[in-house]
Amino acid sequence: MFNEFIIIAFSSTHQAIHFEKLLMGHYAIELIPTPRDVSASCGLSLKFEVDDMGAILEELSKESKEGLQLLHVIVGNSDQKIIPLNWER
């Protein structure tokens, strides 16, 4: 059994809060600690469901993505896989 989701890793706390405010109330999002395997300047990441990715990327299309990482996270029974994604879909 596995669980999968998308995260946006931020380079600053300011960015994390800004993106959270943009999406809050519209999507099931959650600010989480950035996974240890991800190198980011900020310790916060925004987590959301894979099914919401297209709509969220459309919502964020006019936002600067500088310093941000879009990642697909797959968590298995004993391991975690993190796959970098492109912002353009």
Position 89 scores a pLDDT of 60
Position 87 scores a pLDDT of 84
Cα–Cα distance measured from residue 79 to residue 34, given in angstroms and rounded to the nearest whole number:
16
Q: Which long-range contacts (CB under 8 A, 24 or more apart) does 17-20 make?
A: 19/46, 19/60, 19/63, 20/46
pTM tops 0.95:
no
Position 88 scores a pLDDT of 76
CB atoms within 10 A of CB 55: 13
CA quadruple 38, 19, 64, 56: dihedral positive or negative?
Answer: positive
Digits of tens for pLDDT over the chain (89 positions)? Answer: 789 999 999 999 999 999 999 999 999 999 999 988 887 678 899 999 999 999 999 999 999 999 899 999 999 888 889 999 998 76
Cα–Cα distance measured from residue 36 to residue 88, given in angstroms and rounded to the nearest whole number:
25
